[in-house]
Amino acid sequence: MPESVIAGIPVHFPFEPYDVQRAYMEKVIICLRDGTNGVLESPTGTGKTLSLLCASLAWIRTRQSEHQQQMIKLKATSKDGGTGPGGDLSELAMTVGKANNWGVPKVIYASRTHSQLNQAMRELKRTAYANMRSVVLGSRDQLCIHPEVMKEQGNSNKVNLCKLRVHSKTCTFQLRVESKKDHPDFRGPSIMDIEDLVRVGQKLKMCPYFASKELVAQADITFMPYNYLLDPKARKANKIELGNTIVILDEAHNIEKICEESASVQIRSSDVAMAIEDVTHIMKVFTSGESQDAGADEPKDFTLDDLTLLKEMLLELEKAIDAVVVDNPTDGTTYPASLMYELLGKANFTYGNCATIVALLDKLVQYLMVASQHMTIRKGGTFTLLSDLLTIVFANKESIMGKVHLSFKVHVQVEESNKQTGAKGGAAPQGKQQGWLSKGNITTTGASSKAAKIVNFWCFNPGFGMEQLLNTQVRSVILTSGTLAPLKPLIAELAIPVAQHLENPHIVDQSQVYVKIIGTGPDRQQLISNFKNRDNPKYISSLGQTILNVSRIVPDGLLVFFPSYPMLNKCVDAWQASGLWADISCKKPIFLEPRGKDQFTSTMEEFYQAIRDSKGAVFMAVCRGKVSEGLDFADRNGRAVIITGLPFPPLKDPKVILKRRYLEANRTKENQLLSGQEWYNLDATRAVNQAIGRVIRHRNDYGAILLCDSRFQDASQVQQLSKWIRGHLGARPQSSPFGPIVRELRQFFKHAEETMKQPDVREEEQPLTNVCKVEEDEPLPVIPTIKREPGSNATFRKANESAIKVEMANSINSWTPADYASAAGRTLGHAAPNAMDFMSRLDSNVSSIDFNCSGAAGSGLVKIHKRERSSPSANDSVATQATKKRYKLVDNIKTEPSSQPAVKVAPESRADLLRELRSVINQEQFKEFGKVLIEYKSGTYEKFESLMAVLLVVLPAPKMRYLLVGMRRFIKNEHKDEFDVRVASLN
């Protein structure tokens, strides 16, 4: 690999570094050399991660080389000095030096998610430093391979059961760590990500979670998520030592929020009440001897006196919280930070006994974890919440309480009542179980005159968490991201001394990026997604028309980002109802960002596959969502990004209001903090900058950025966009008419495809002839369906599945005109699709087209057969482009009528099903159905009852029964059995 000398350090880079990469690496090396901090911005696609790793590890390797030379001199001194005083000193120096890694700092590389860490580790494998020792730290949820632990639902349950098995020495995987940790399969690879650790752990039957910690001491670089580093609880649990380390915080555009959240905590009245109930249950077990009768072997390293004292404290805490006055039940009431310490003080939770009580709570969690295996009881989740509360609140030392009062606020809200919980686990009637064995008041409404409350202990000063990090004697802290600007307010909020800062330009040429502000849609309707306009049907329609027109021009992948999930769902519902959704999906299949982890992974895989298999795809997502943060849409996966609005935080959210007040109260000329309004605007623009960064991913990439909100032309918004984006918009950016943009966009992509180097075809892509080849005796392949998951409140999930069927016609053997007509979004009897499009289907590897379905009984029926090659090959597929094809028309091929009457089946597509439903019921009924369906998606069992009641009213007739059965696809998994029973009872 080429070697470049940067700031006096030889750096091996995979290729000759560009100027922006050289400037970036120089700043990194200066920070490490001088032991100072840096804030470095370099746009996405400039090789930021690669530059960061190469520069830091090159400096580490140089230091290691220098200390190796010192070690050789020490050995020589020891040999010459013999056993004299000089020799003893040399031996001592060697021992101390070896124990302290010879004074060479270690690197801790932290990012927001494990997917981002995996990307960084893949970059490291490309470098000359791939042989340096590295390790990644993950959670038990990711690394545990014990089958019993992995059955547990929820991360906290897995953690507690793991701790219990390790404590009782019943986890064979953990017990093998000591004997297997030096195995070549484990020590051999220098770079192992989460998947590698799990694979090796399963092979050696050794716990990957505990084994990975064995690698930390010898690692040159350790990868971990932010919370492991910034959260004092996680840092302590993972035994992370920060003295003389280099801390790199990549993707640091979210660092302020993460610092604030790591120092914040919440407790509910219901949490305290359930903790009282759990303590009471354990006390009953102690006094009645139930556990002995059950043959349990729970660890009981606590006494009945401990439980009695804890219950008294919790009862006092519950009473103190109940006494807090909430003047505004709707929005809550804000108090000074001192209220939290007063509430805990009234219950006798203090700095002096905090550690003891936290230890007791941990023991109780382990006890309940075992007890839950053979009796019906909660697993101690409320004890974990209380432990976190005490740990976070009392982490702030008494000596800095003045700063705590400035940085924190207590916000008390009324807790929403839970009727089901109240009915099942309510307080005992008066006169029953009063005294030390009573369960306390677990109800939130009803007999209690005091409403249950939520007490929030919120931090608004990110510098508070960063100061705790700096106090650990780290050598350097480097904050870096593609979207940090403006840097001064960031540095001011974090309150860290910064010696080096950088705002890099982009690595691509002006001709590789097309940036425009679209202020009006094709119908000249203003595009502005503000609060007043977002419910305007004309605006939503115009935005859909804009996306439709852009999807016709943009090749391959198109990303569309919305300000919020509600706005995304609102647009999807409106477009599906109006037919715009079907029009867009005829051009490109549509994917929606799901919220579930498993669904997200599968949806992304299907999106990438659709890009490879078809003419493109549209991915609709949300700013600040998973798609907008760190995912790679390079080359064909993302040729354009549409930003539909500015994702401002909720204006009336109590946390947003208090953050703005904090900034206004603490802002001075000296500290250069933003005003509340400036912070509010910047928070939205940073989210936009992150979403924009998904497209241009490397030097030879190209793409379009379309800002579909007229507010982007405001000077205040433009100045907060990334520096390289501002360069494309010019000094005075103005929105452009839609017509010229369409022409310019078409010319841009035409020019880019002619002049830019196109990406190589991925290795996993197979030739079309191989994909379509079907053995003679094999059944026809099933046409794949593509998932599209709206948000949790969306009415619809899929639309126009058959449109994808048309676009995948090359992978099927037969189809009918009905398939083609419905795929084009029409029904038979209406205008037919374009004849040339129809005939183009014959240019694929289709063996037959059945016209029998469209002819009347007794009419002449025709079937077209296409002669297939017996052994298609790549060369043949090229040759056939210039050869004529033979088609044979066969008369009178009739299908025998079935003796049984055909059973009518609901359409497969959700959108088609809803259209058919709309055609058979009146408008008022359809509105009522839509309302209860939306409520059901985010509601409880009661909403299921409401939905069933409406369905039985609007679909009462037997001839509509097929539609009622089709509604099963909208029913949640936990309600499907009951749905089936009710439908079956109607027959």
The contacts of residue 425 (CB under 8 Å, 6+ apart) are: 274, 277, 442
Contact (Cβ atoms closer than 8 angstroms) between residue 12 and residue 3: yes
- Residue 938 in tokens: 């985010």
- Residue 562 in tokens: 């919305």
- The answer on whether 207 is annotated among ligand-binding residues is yes
Closest CA to 122 of 693, 765, 632: 632
- Residue 675 in tokens: 């005003």
Round to whole Å and give the CA distance between 184 and 206.
Answer: 13
Q: Which amino acid is at 851?
A: F
Query: Residue 223 pairs with which residues in a beta bridge?
Result: 109, 136
The single-letter DSSP state of residue 257 is: H
Q: Which amino acid is at 87?
A: G
Closest CA to 908 of 818, 810, 794, 848: 818
- The answer on whether 586 is annotated among ligand-binding residues is no
Q: Which amino acid is at 179?
A: S
Beta strands 38-41 and 476-481: pairing type?
parallel
- Residue 563 in tokens: 């300000």
The contacts of residue 824 (CB under 8 Å, 6+ apart) are: 586, 803, 806, 833
- Residue 262 in tokens: 């790591």
- Residue 343 in tokens: 């509430």
The contacts of residue 194 (CB under 8 Å, 6+ apart) are: 114, 118, 136, 138, 142, 143
Contact (Cβ atoms closer than 8 angstroms) between residue 588 and residue 552: no
Integer angstrom CA distances of residue 228 from 237, 260, 870: 9, 15, 60
Contact (Cβ atoms closer than 8 angstroms) between residue 619 and residue 589: no
φ/ψ region of 147 (left if φ > 0, alpha if ψ in -120 to 50, else beta) reads alpha
- The answer on whether 459 is annotated among ligand-binding residues is no
Q: Which helix (H) or strand (E) holds 106?
A: strand 106-111
- The answer on whether 162 is annotated among ligand-binding residues is yes
Closest CA to 498 of 483, 479, 481, 484: 479
Round to whole Å and give the CA distance between 241 and 232.
Answer: 12
Round to whole Å and give the CA distance between 8 and 2.
Answer: 16
Integer angstrom CA distances of residue 528 from 540, 574, 576, 690, 713: 10, 17, 21, 20, 11
Q: Please, what is the end-to-end C-alpha distance for the chain in angstroms? A: 74
Round to whole Å and give the CA distance between 659 and 408.
Answer: 10
Q: How many CB atoms lie within 10 A of CB 382?
A: 26
φ/ψ region of 545 (left if φ > 0, alpha if ψ in -120 to 50, else beta) reads alpha
Buried b (16+ CB within 10 A) or exposed e, 629-662: bbbebbbbbbbbbbbbbbbbbeeeebbbbbbbeb
Round to whole Å and give the CA distance between 80 and 91.
Answer: 12
- Residue 189 in tokens: 């690879």
DSSP string covering 278-323, please? HHHHHHHHHHHTHHHHTT------S-HHHHHHHHHHHHHHHHHHHT
The contacts of residue 614 (CB under 8 Å, 6+ apart) are: 588, 589, 804, 807, 808
Closest CA to 593 of 787, 363, 393, 357: 787
Beta strands 862-866 and 887-891: pairing type?
antiparallel
Q: Report the sign of the C-alpha dihedral through residues 730, 731, 735, 738, in that order.
A: negative
In the annotated binding site for [4Fe-4S] cluster, the residues are: 144, 162, 171, 207
Annotated binding site: 144, 162, 171, 207
